[in-house]
Chains A and B, each alone.
Chain A
Amino acid sequence: MLRDELIAGEQLRETESELRGRWPTGADADFEDAVEFHESLPGHKRFAEVLESADDPLLQPRAGIPRLDDQVELLRYLETEGGADLLPTTIDSYTRDNEYEKAAEGLADARDSGDDTLNGFPAVNHGVDACRDLIRSVDAPVEVRHGTPDARLLAIVTLAGGFQSFEGGPVSYNIPYTKEHDLEETIEHWQFVDRLCGAYTERGVRINREPFGPLTGTLVPPAIAIAVMILEGLLAATQGVRSLTLGYGQVGNVVQDVAALRALRDLGEEYLPDDVVATTVFHEWMGGFPPDEARANGVIGLGGATAALARPDKVITKSPQEFQGVPTREANAAGLRTTRQLVDMMLEQEIVIDGIDEEQEIIERTARSLVETVFSHGDGDVAQGTVAAFESGALDVPFAPSDSAAAAVLPARDDDGRVRVLEWGDLAVPDEVKEVHGARLDQRARTEGRSRSFRMVADDVDAISDGKLIGRPTASDGDTGGPGDGVGPQGGESDAD
């Protein structure tokens, strides 16, 4: 039965040895040999040390293309021309789906055609030696960034390959990233990943783990993201992870974003064990981007400004070409430089903004309630409680494609652009919090002269790419007033599928 308990060493070795047989490159992933390789790396390539000792927010882009040489060249470019402090290697979507055959086809196609036919670096197909070539060829620490529900083999290969940070977690890489993976099984798979990181940690190689804060990346209420970060942090700590970076994705309202990052840091310190070093990462806007590089730079700039105010340990940057998918290396470096300019200009200013404390208080109260409901759902066991709370809907994520989540929660922005909850489903939140959200959304409905409805949600999803924060009705919408409006108050939506 699934429990939040340390996996025994013998079981770790058995599972590891079975997994290494699943794809030919697994054979090269020898743990002792890997520890030796990690020990050979200089201090400036040790992820946890670099991140935890930094005074100012470090910048990191996303980047992954299929061929090794191209990936090395891309990372070097982002270091020299973008000024990236930390480097990524983003994994392609077939590998994320454990479809190594399809990834092999895509990689072969990339090698034949010269095109980037995969949306990332298929690290399992490349294998341990290629990963080590990559780590040797760059001058900064490198993280594996992906979206893989069952990331066990990917972790075995990439950690043996010299990567020192590994993104993801059982909730954050299941609920937003898959339809069919069972949550209980995903938690078991991530206990293995965390235990493997813990095994390296015991040997002095402190692998950094980064739960994926933005979740579905679209209007996620901060308290939900924070609760998930705490739960994944606790699960990882049980398996021996000692360097954890908790994440949060920008929603675009400055007060709410600063409040959320402060709440994330405070609750992380409160809930995680003392022997864990917890840091925070702020993701620039993860939703739809404007189809115009100049406007996209504005969105990125707001992210940089917010980061300077909230001072997370790390910022994941976006590029001005985000709207069309994987950016050119020039655009990717530009996103880094735009962010740097804003951060550096604002970091030394003392800027006081009203309302942050109040917002932080309501976020913390809501997040606490969600974490506590998981504890009670599992009779004190976080693993059991997480499964049970998603099952009951007491914990939920908007727009979740996973069958393991109710996806009954629907967010919308209030009149100030802060993300509130329009439909609660069965989310375990105190009534007084619901009343605050309700009142704020009513205020918006009055301002716009229309009823609260799914239409607001749809308008908010498009708002930033359309050039605004809040999806207000426009003159051309014509019939958006009143309850007779064809969309109606949230009728058909019961599940994101």
Chain B
Amino acid sequence: MARIGADTHMGQTVILGVIGSDAHVVGITILEQALTAAGFDVENLGVQTAKAEFVSAAAAEDAGAVLVSSLYGHARQDCQGLHEQLAEAGCDAITYIGGNLAVGQNDWAETEQTFRTLGFDRVFDAETDPEAVVASLERDLDMTATEPERASVNT
């Protein structure tokens, strides 16, 4: 099925990065591979990416989605104001965040709610398979796509 996606997602740029002072690189490296293989145009901003860099990349690319990764527990402080800045830049991309989102051993439902309240459309824990992110993106981006989904070109 990935090959169908490979064509329907052309032009839907996905912005990817690790926010704040965090240097955990392995997760987004693998996610980048999975998204690229699924046909998304991926702009990987890498580790230690400031809020403002997410916003300017999303605006410049007219991104369909902004995916924020954070493994070191400071995500709440790092993401304050991100959605307001995206809105000011005229960016209506859907937003995901994933990783270890709070310091310590926390109740996941509470953490998820915290980040939903900050404005994220989906919140993933650190155990999420890249395929689950791909599947969610395909669903969410198809829903917002203006063109009707084309038939399979996978002959």
Residue of B nearest to A487 (CB): B37
A125 within 8 A of B: no
Q: Which of B3, B20, B26, B130 has the most CB of A within 10 A?
A: B26
B72 within 8 A of A: yes
Chain A residues touching B, range: 35 or more
Q: Give B1-34 as 1s and 0s: 1 = Cβ < 8 Å from A's Cβ atoms.
A: 0110010000000000000111101100110111
B87 within 8 A of A: no
Q: Is there contact, CB below 8 Å, between B104 and A177?
A: no
Q: Is there contact, CB below 8 Å, between B103 and A116?
A: yes
Q: Could you tell me which residues of chain A, from 306 to 349, have a CB within 8 Å of some CB in chain B?
A: 321, 323-328, 331
CB distance from B2 to the nearest CB of A (A): 5
Whole-angstrom CA separation of A327 from B106 in the bound complex: 10
B44 within 8 A of A: yes
A399 within 8 A of B: yes
A93 with B105, Cβ < 8 A, contacts A105-B77, A326-B73, A458-B30 known: no
B127 within 8 A of A: yes
B48 within 8 A of A: yes
Q: Is there contact, CB below 8 Å, between A117 and B105?
A: no
B46 within 8 A of A: yes
B126 within 8 A of A: yes
CB distance from B32 to the nearest CB of A (A): 8
A106 within 8 A of B: yes
A interface SS class: loop
Q: Is there contact, CB below 8 Å, between A461 and B73?
A: no
B85 within 8 A of A: no
**CB < 8 Å neighbour of B3 from A147, A288, A486:** A486
The stretch among A11-19, A41-49, A94-102, A258-266 that forms the contact with chain B is: A94-102
Q: Is there contact, CB below 8 Å, between B72 and A93?
A: yes
Chain A residues near B34 (CB-CB < 8 A): 458
CB distance from A33 to the nearest CB of B (A): 31
A295 within 8 A of B: no
CB distance from A319 to the nearest CB of B (A): 10
**CB < 8 Å neighbour of A179 from B3, B23, B74, B77:** B23
Residue of A nearest to B5 (CB): A486
Q: Give A138-174 as 1s and 0s: 1 = Cβ < 8 Å from B's Cβ atoms.
A: 0000000001000000000000000000000000000
A291 with B127, Cβ < 8 A, contacts A326-B103, A328-B104, A493-B33 known: yes
A24 within 8 A of B: no
B100 within 8 A of A: yes
B47 within 8 A of A: yes
Q: Give B97-114 as 1s and 0s: 1 = Cβ < 8 Å from A's Cβ atoms.
A: 000101111100000000
Residues in B lying within 8 Å of A, measured CB to CB: 2-3, 6, 20-23, 25-26, 29-30, 32-34, 36-38, 44-49, 71-74, 77, 100, 102-106, 126-127, 130
Q: List 24 A-B contacts (CB under 8 A).
A: A93-B20, A93-B21, A93-B73, A96-B21, A97-B48, A99-B21, A109-B77, A116-B103, A176-B23, A178-B23, A179-B46, A288-B126, A325-B102, A325-B104, A328-B104, A331-B105, A401-B47, A461-B30, A465-B127, A487-B33, A492-B33, A493-B29, A493-B33, A497-B44
Additional A-B contacts beyond A102-B77, A176-B23 (16; CB < 8 A) = A93-B20, A97-B48, A106-B74, A117-B77, A118-B103, A324-B105, A325-B71, A325-B100, A401-B47, A401-B48, A458-B33, A461-B26, A487-B33, A488-B37, A492-B33, A497-B47
